Structure 1
Amino acid sequence: MTAPFASRIHLALAVLAAGIAQPASALSCLSPTVQTSFAAADDSDATYVMGVGRLTPVPGQRIPAAPDNPNHRVGYSLEATFEGHLATRNGFDHAYAGPVTVDVTCVAAWCGQIPVGAHLLFLERTAEGDRLTAGPCPRFALPSTPRNRSDALSCLARGCVAP
């Protein structure tokens, strides 16, 4: 009677060991909100502006080739053009088009990407120009929904606290 029980324990240990040896297959990110993104930008020493619009990569750039080991991916920067409107206290009413450097960051096998389509962006203003950090867990690029735009303007007018 002890032999089958011992066999099940060995089998369970073998399955557990096999599971531990496998690389992680998913990255779990908290879903960003306007409030958490605004708070992160507001708490930073950097200066940020909020914009609603689209980023278009500058033609002719190349994304670095993936390494042999997918867990060794590294970040890179791409140049893009932002076209849209920047936020003022009256709304997203300041038309703006200009260059943005998108800093794509990676965590192991997961990297961010340039946001596709209309987004609410938190652009960092630097001496070298506007920058967007695009990580695998996006914080500074949210879909441009009516709710997100309204929440962003509320945060700008009255401040907001991340939940």
Structure 2
Amino acid sequence: MIRILAFLVAICAPWPALALSCAEPSIARGFHAASAAPQTFVVVRGQLSFDEGELPKGMTDPAPPKQTEIPARITGKSLSMAGFIHHFDREITLEVLCFGPWCGGAVDGMDVLAFVEKADGRYTMSIDPCGGFVFPNPSPDQISIIQQCFRGESCPLD
């Protein structure tokens, strides 16, 4: 009996090492990271539209691509000093990143708060298995925090 128990412990011990560990998503951390990055970002709150069939398969594919680019659209408002007041309705590239078998994910029609990269007149929204710069179904607190950060007010890192 002890041998069986020892065997089960031995074969199960490596499983935690295979898990992906992500920090809890934070709007303030995202703001600080985007502000420190050399890229230009637009903060957008809106509805994401795309073909979910284009998403990488992740855990069901033994070797998903590291990056998948999907045509998408985001319709909503972009952030300014006065709040989310500027109409934003643009075709974007949804860049889905995979870390090993774990891939970022999204749902067609979901409400997002996102840091959308703007380069050469094109917009890209990146999402990784830990969320990246995309926050689904933002809460009123998250909206308030990003507005404070954007205005240069209190922007605590948690």
Hey, what does 2:157 align to over in structure 1? Answer: 162
Q: Return the match for 2:32 from 39, 49, 60.
A: 39
2:64 is aligned with 1:73: yes
Q: TM-score by structure 1 length? A: 0.80
Hey, what does 1:83 align to over in structure 2? Answer: 75
CA RMSD of aligned residues (A): 2.7
SS at structure 2 position matched to 1:105: strand
Hey, what does 1:96 align to over in structure 2? Answer: 88
Identity of aligned residues (%): 24
Whole-Å Cα distance in 1 between the matches of residues 52 and 6 of structure 2? 52
Residues 110, 44 of structure 1: alpha-carbon distance in 2 compared, 3 angstrom cutoff: same
SS at structure 1 position matched to 2:151: helix
Q: TM-score by structure 2 length? A: 0.83
Unaligned stretches of 5+ in structure 2?
Answer: none
Hey, what does 1:15 align to over in structure 2? Answer: 8
TM-fit CA distance, 1:81: 0.8
- 1:22-33 matches, cutoff 5 A: 26-33=19-26
Unaligned stretches of 5+ in structure 1?
Answer: 1-6
Aligned length: 154
Q: Return the match for 1:145 from 136, 139, 145.
A: 139
TM-fit CA distance, 1:149: 1.1
SS at structure 2 position matched to 1:30: coil
Greater Cα radius of gyration, structure 1 or 2: 1
Whole-Å Cα distance in 2 between the matches of residues 108 and 141 of structure 1? 20
Residues 22, 91 of structure 1: alpha-carbon distance in 2 compared, 3 angstrom cutoff: closer
* Letter matched to residue 151 of structure 1: I
